[in-house]
């Protein structure tokens, strides 16, 4: 999920941010350059800056509908591997993936970072955060996903519509943009919606885990509304990413109480989902840290333990983000497998980090081997519907052409498609599965079956151990396994 937004709430905030930036720059002995605050336009001043959502003509002129041209194509605006209608292992490629465009990165990502101002000035942007601008962006979103040939999109409430000075005002803004989205949506669908519970200063101590009851209530109201509009737009899932649900210091934190509050919040979300007849899956997106020092939904194992402890295991699944997996010290494959074997694999936020950078860079995943292992998990899971692959990924700050938005998504889709083709080859080949089967074949025996059924006690096992004496233990064949994997890449 995104971490930087050009929306500045108060003048005092601006000053604080400026001072912090100056301090950082001085500490790092960088030469100080004035960094422009992005121009913003609070919703209440909407008419003063950006008063029209009219946009004449296309947002992406000169970019055609993206087609599959196959491996011989050199066209950067064509698919080489992703062929939506082609069947792989009995399912169309488009149904394996259910690719989704993330509104926040693609349409609200500006290229700003803690050290620098925005770098992307899309032609349709007028530099404001007005309601008119929000509507224009929504039109751009639908032209983009239509040209890309994707059926799904994902959103955060505050990214598609401007916040308000009151909850009522924020809800009214959201309603207006959502009404337009519903009208423009046609056959396109919402993969998931979510509430942005981390940007506003009120959420500095967390949302559902805030030490302030008023903030807990505000977060509940915001999630209630976000669930309603996700339902209204026909969303198939609803995501909770607890950006600030964690702590900065245990000294001032009652962790047990905060976790209890988080569980009560999720229980209330389940109850409200049922009340409004929302049939979508509720998903929790694990992430170990950033922005907090410790985030409660650390990884798939931690989150599934949390769900089990509070009796929520049947009500939630997990949205595994690959960059979050690596931040928690795991591979994406590990997180997917952990979710899968717990019956919790619900959605994938398809992105990656940089191996030399320790934070959440949200890059498009373009590593073929990683894509292959991801698809092995997805195939074992029998697919991922009603979830999908959401491109929670953004252009690099230095990529500033409109066509880069297309190239990045095309490359991301092609890489995943290549992963699917490779995984299918690996399964059809069968030698990797055979290697794994052989490793455990000693359990495919009478005693092994008793062990696996929980019917082998220690006395029985001791008798066997004495009878067998010292054993020759077989090789794990890791290098052979790696060689087999690489043979399909
Ligand atoms: C599977 O792949 C391995 C490694 O490339 C190869 O040696 C083997 O012949 C293949 N087996 C089948 C059944 O295709
Ligand atoms: Mn991320």
Number of CB atoms found within 10 A of residue 380's CB: 15
426 alpha carbon – ligand 1 mean position (Å): 9
What is the chain's pLDDT, residue by residue, as a tens digit (489 residues)?
444 344 333 334 443 444 444 444 333 333 333 333 344 444 444 444 455 667 767 999 999 999 999 999 999 999 999 999 999 999 999 999 999 999 999 999 999 999 999 999 999 999 999 999 999 999 999 999 999 999 999 999 999 999 999 999 999 999 999 999 999 999 999 999 999 999 999 999 999 999 999 999 999 999 999 999 999 999 999 999 999 999 999 999 999 999 999 999 999 999 999 999 999 999 999 999 999 999 999 999 999 999 999 999 999 999 999 999 999 999 999 999 999 999 999 999 999 999 999 899 999 999 999 999 999 999 999 999 999 999 999 999 999 999 999 999 999 999 999 999 999 999 999 999 999 999 999 999 999 999 999 999 999 999 999 999 999 999 999 999 999 999 999
Q: Provide the pLDDT for residue 161.
A: 98
Do 384 and 98 meet the contact criterion of CB atoms below 8 Å apart? yes
Do 284 and 316 meet the contact criterion of CB atoms below 8 Å apart? yes
Q: Provide the pLDDT for residue 52.
A: 67
153 forms bridges with which residues in the sheet?
101, 190
Within a domain: 443: yes
What does the DSSP assignment read for 188-249? -EEEEEE---SSSGGGGG-STT-S-HHHHHHHHHHHHHHHHHHHHTT-SEEEE--TT-EES-
417 plus 470 within the same structural domain: no
Within a domain: 354: yes
Q: Residues whose CB is under 5 A from ligand 2 (ion)?
A: 323, 360, 362
Ligand closest to CA 291: 2
Q: Based on the structure, what is the number of domains in the chain?
A: 2
Q: Provide the pLDDT for residue 7.
A: 39
- Distance separating alpha carbons of residues 307 and 309, to the nearest angstrom: 6
317 plus 448 within the same structural domain: no
Q: Provide the pLDDT for residue 412.
A: 98
374 plus 449 within the same structural domain: no
Query: Which of 487, 488, 489 for a ligand 1 pocket mutation test, highest count of atoms within 8 Å of Cβ?
Result: 487
304 plus 444 within the same structural domain: no
In ligand 1, the atom with minimum distance to the C-alpha of 484 is: 4
349 forms bridges with which residues in the sheet?
321, 390
Q: Provide the pLDDT for residue 51.
A: 58
Q: Provide the pLDDT for residue 358.
A: 87
Within a domain: 5: no
Q: Provide the pLDDT for residue 55.
A: 72
186 plus 84 within the same structural domain: yes
Do 388 and 98 meet the contact criterion of CB atoms below 8 Å apart? yes
In ligand 1, the atom with minimum distance to the C-alpha of 488 is: 5
Q: Which residues contact 405 (CB under 8 A, 6 or more apart)?
A: 106, 144, 395
Number of CB atoms found within 10 A of residue 361's CB: 15
353 plus 463 within the same structural domain: no
Residue 225 has φ and ψ, to the nearest 5°, of: -65, -45
| Structural domain containing residue 467 | 431-487
Residue with CA nearest ligand 1 atom 5: 487
Q: Would residue 231 show up in a list of annotated catalytic residues for this protein?
A: no
pTM over 0.85: yes
Within a domain: 146: yes
Q: Provide the pLDDT for residue 22.
A: 41
- Distance separating alpha carbons of residues 218 and 198, to the nearest angstrom: 12
- Distance separating alpha carbons of residues 367 and 362, to the nearest angstrom: 14
Within a domain: 4: no
189 plus 112 within the same structural domain: yes
Q: Which residues contact 454 (CB under 8 A, 6 or more apart)?
A: none
Q: Provide the pLDDT for residue 433.
A: 98
Q: Provide the pLDDT for residue 24.
A: 41
Set 156, 205, 334, 409: catalytic member: 156
Rounded (5°) CA angle 475-478-482: 150
435 forms bridges with which residues in the sheet?
none
Q: Is 184 helix (H, G, I), strand (E, B) or coil?
A: helix
């Amino acid at each position: 999920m995104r971490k930087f937004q050009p929306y500045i709430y108060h003048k005092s905030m601006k000053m604080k941010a400026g001072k912090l930036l100056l301090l950082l720059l001085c500490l790092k002995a960088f030469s100080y350059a004035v960094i422009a605050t992005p121009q913003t336009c609070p919703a209440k001043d909407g008419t003063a800056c950006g008063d029209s959502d009219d946009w004449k003509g296309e947002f992406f002129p000169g970019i055609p509908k993206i087609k599959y041209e196959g491996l011989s194509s050199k066209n950067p605006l064509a698919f080489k591997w992703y062929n939506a209608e082609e069947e792989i292992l009995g399912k169309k490629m488009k149904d394996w993936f259910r690719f989704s465009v993330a509104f926040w990165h693609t349409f609200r990502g500006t290229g700003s970072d803690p050290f620098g101002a925005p770098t992307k000035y899309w032609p349709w942007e007028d530099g404001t955060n007005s309601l008119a601008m929000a509507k224009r962006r929504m039109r751009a979103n639908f032209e983009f996903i239509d040209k890309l040939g994707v059926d799904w999109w994902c959103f955060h409430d505050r990214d598609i519509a401007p916040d308000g000075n009151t909850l009522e005002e924020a809800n009214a803004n959201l309603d207006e943009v959502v009404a337009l989205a519903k009208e423009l949506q046609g056959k396109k669908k919402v993969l998931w919606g979510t509430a942005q519970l981390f940007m506003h200063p009120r959420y500095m101590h967390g949302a559902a885990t805030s030490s302030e009851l008023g903030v807990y209530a505000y977060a509940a109201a915001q999630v209630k509304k976000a669930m309603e509009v996700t339902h209204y737009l026909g969303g198939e899932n609803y995501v909770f990413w607890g950006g600030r649900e964690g702590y900065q210091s245990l000294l001032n934190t009652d962790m047990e109480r905060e976790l209890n509050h988080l569980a009560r919040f999720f229980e209330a979300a389940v109850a409200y989902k049922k009340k409004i007849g929302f049939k979508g899956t509720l998903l929790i997106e694990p992430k170990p840290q950033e922005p907090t020092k410790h985030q409660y939904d650390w990884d798939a194992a931690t989150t599934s333990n949390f769900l089990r402890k509070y009796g929520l295991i049947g009500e939630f699944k997990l949205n595994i983000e690959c960059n979050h997996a690596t931040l928690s010290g795991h591979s994406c494959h590990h997180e997917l497998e952990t979710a899968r074997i717990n019956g919790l694999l619900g959605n994938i936020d398809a992105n990656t980090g940089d191996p030399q950078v320790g934070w959440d860079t949200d890059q498009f995943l373009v590593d073929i081997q990683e894509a292959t292992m991801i698809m092995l998990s997805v195939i074992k899971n029998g697919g991922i519907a009603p979830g999908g692959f959401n491109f929670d990924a953004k252009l690099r700050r230095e990529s500033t052409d409109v066509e880069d938005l297309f190239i990045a998504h095309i490359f991301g889709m092609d890489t995943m498609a290549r992963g699917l083709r490779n995984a299918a080859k690996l399964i059809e080949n069968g030698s990797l599965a055979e290697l794994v089967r052989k490793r455990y074949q000693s359990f495919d025996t009478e005693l092994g079956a008793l062990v696996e059924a929980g019917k082998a006690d220690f006395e029985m096992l001791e008798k066997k151990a004495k009878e067998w004496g010292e054993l020759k233990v077989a090789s794990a064949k890791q290098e052979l396994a790696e060689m087999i994997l690489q043979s399909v890449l």
